[in-house]
């Protein structure tokens, strides 16, 4: 009798032969720019903890105080008995922070994106997605049952041409800062195109909120757009805010619709109230400490200049995400492994996360990095790249 799942083994072998096999590293320390992996101290250049808040003492203390008050688990979904005073206060504070009528917490960003798109659209409607959108946005569009169309990356003209032909309710969906490329969506152009065709615009600003803009308001602040321009704003809490979870912000009608119809909100356990309290503390830091954003910008610019001087193909990015295009998947893995041996953690990003032939090293920065960390990484890259040619 065949062993269960024996037919899956050849597929795993094929993934490995293409240099696409994924594996996990066990971290033995708190999150930060210095990690302990297999007993070795490593400088971390692949985290999304952009502002360095995941292990901030004020955030930790708020979490501990929240756990003392509310316990560890939230007990049930928000609509049963899981919606605490901490959750409610955080929603109000996030609404004020984003300049929107209301905000609604979700347990993860993936659940938020799937829930929102499926709640707003159905058969007879249409969804338009940037070709490089995050997987959760693409999955949300496909699961909604609406007519699904992808437009050329950051191309408002291509979007407009497709919008004209669409029936029913129309939703345009884009990342704000694209997670694997680091570039910005042309949000002002997309907003104009959506308005002209009577479509709604949804922006996933997971990698922009807290990080982009003078006050950390993300891509929407960067372009000076309002709730009317961008009716649906999604943000995650596990990146710039350093905690966990996600939220959607918008009008009263939008939020009430999601409470009634978003299945990933209605039918899942609320995130722990202690996490909400930790996020309230991190939000205060995001607003008050603009030096973190200023430092990120300087570090990213220093890295770009150094990488270009080394002849590395750094992708066009004004964010804390600075990818180096390698091309071949196995070569990207080999360079990533060599960097780890040299004491630096930099992820190799390969298909299907990115298009075929565009494997890359995804270098990300934290406000906790110093210039000497950047310079050491550049020195290591120079030696390793030269050795791999």
Beta strands in the chain (DSSP E): 34-37, 40-44, 102-106, 126-130, 147-151, 170-175, 200-204, 232-236, 246-250, 321-327, 344-345, 347-349, 359-364
**Domain shared by 193 and 72, yes or no:** yes
Which residues of the chain are under the pLDDT cut of 50? none
User: Rg (Cα) of the chain, in Å, rounded?
Assistant: 21
pLDDT for 167: 85
Q: Do residues 265 and 104 make contact, with C-beta atoms less than 8 angstroms apart?
A: yes
207 is in an annotated binding site: yes
For residue 259, give the CATH number of its domain. 3.40.640.10
Question: In b/e form, how buried is each residue of 157-189, taking b as 16+ CB within 10 angstroms?
Answer: ebbbebbeebeebbbbbbbbbbbbbbbbbbbeb
- Looking at residue 208, what is its pLDDT? 97
Catalytic residues: 179, 207, 239
353 annotated ligand-binding residue: yes
Distance CA 170, CA 176 (A): 19
Provide the pLDDT for residue 325: 95
Within this chain, do residues 169 and 264 fall inside the same structural domain, yes or no? yes
Residues 202 and 319 in one domain: no
> Does 83 carry a binding-site annotation?
no
Q: What is the pLDDT of residue 255?
A: 98
Among 321, 315, 320, 303, smallest CA distance to 382 is for 303
Query: Are 136 and 274 in a shared domain?
Result: yes
Q: What is the pLDDT of residue 5?
A: 86
User: Residue length, the chain?
Assistant: 389
Q: Does the annotation place 6 within a ligand binding site?
A: no
Establish whether 3 is an annotated binding residue: no
What is the C-alpha to C-alpha distance for residues 332 and 116, in angstroms, rounded to an integer?
Answer: 35
Residue 242 marked as a ligand binder = no
How many contiguous H segments (helices) and E segments (strands) does the chain have? 14, 13
Judgement on whether residues 267 and 191 belong to the same structural domain of the protein: yes
Whether residue 16 lies inside any domain: the answer is: no
Tens digits of per-residue pLDDT, 245-271? 999 999 999 999 999 999 999 999 999
- 69 Cβ contact partners less than 8 Å away, ≥ 6 residues apart: 273, 277
369 is annotated as contributing to ligand binding: no
Looking at 255, 288, 321, which one is the last position of a domain? 288
Does 109 carry a binding-site annotation?
yes
Tell me, yes or no, whether 328 lies in a domain: yes
Report the distance separating Cα 290 and Cα 292, nearest Å.
Answer: 5
- With residue 131 as reference, give the H or E element that holds it: none
- Is the whole-model pTM more than 0.85? yes
pLDDT of amino acid 2: 65
CATH number at residue 371: 3.90.1150.10
Distances (CA, A) of 99 to 229, 230, 249: 12, 11, 9
């Amino acid at each position: 009798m065949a062993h269960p799942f024996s037919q899956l083994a050849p597929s795993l072998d094929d993934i490995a032969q293409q240099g696409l096999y994924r594996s996990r590293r066990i971290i033995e320390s708190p999150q930060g720019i210095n990690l302990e992996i297999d007993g070795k101290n490593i400088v971390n250049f692949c985290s999304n903890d952009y502002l360095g808040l995941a292990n901030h003492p004020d955030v930790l203390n708020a979490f501990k105080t929240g756990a003392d008050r509310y316990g560890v688990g939230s007990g049930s979904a928000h609509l049963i008995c899981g919606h605490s005073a901490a959750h409610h206060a955080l929603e109000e504070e996030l609404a004020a922070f984003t300049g929107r009528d209301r905000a609604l917490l979700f347990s993860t960003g993936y659940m938020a994106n799937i829930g929102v798109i499926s709640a707003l659209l159905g058969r007879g409607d249409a969804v338009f997605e940037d070709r490089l959108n995050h997987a959760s946005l693409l999955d949300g569009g496909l699961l909604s049952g609406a007519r699904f169309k992808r437009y050329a990356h950051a191309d408002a003209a291509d979007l407009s041409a497709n919008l004209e032909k669409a029936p029913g309710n129309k939703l345009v969906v884009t990342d704000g800062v694209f997670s694997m490329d680091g570039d910005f969506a042309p949000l002002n152009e997309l907003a104009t195109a959506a308005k002209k065709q009577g479509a709604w615009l949804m922006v996933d600003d997971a990698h922009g909120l807290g990080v982009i803009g003078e006050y950390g308001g993300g891509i929407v602040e960067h372009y000076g757009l309002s709730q009317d321009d961008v009716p649906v704003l999604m943000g995650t809490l596990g990146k710039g805010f350093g905690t966990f979870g996600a939220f959607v912000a918008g009008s009263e009608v939008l939020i009430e619709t999601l409470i009634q119809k978003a299945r990933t909100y209605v039918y899942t356990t609320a995130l722990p109230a202690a996490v909400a309290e930790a996020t309230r503390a991190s939000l205060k830091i995001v607003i008050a400490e603009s030096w973190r954003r200023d430092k990120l910008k300087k570090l990213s610019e220093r890295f770009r200049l150094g990488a270009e001087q080394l002849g590395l193909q750094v992708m066009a990015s004004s964010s804390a995400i600075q990818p180096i295009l390698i091309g071949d998947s196995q070569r990207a893995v080999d360079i990533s492994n060599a960097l780890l041996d040299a004491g630096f953690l930099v992820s190799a990003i390969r298909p299907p996360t990115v298009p075929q032939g565009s494997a890359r090293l995804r270098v990300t920065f934290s406000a906790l990095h110093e210039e000497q960390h950047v310079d050491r990484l550049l020195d290591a890259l120079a030696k390793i790249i030269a050795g791999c040619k």
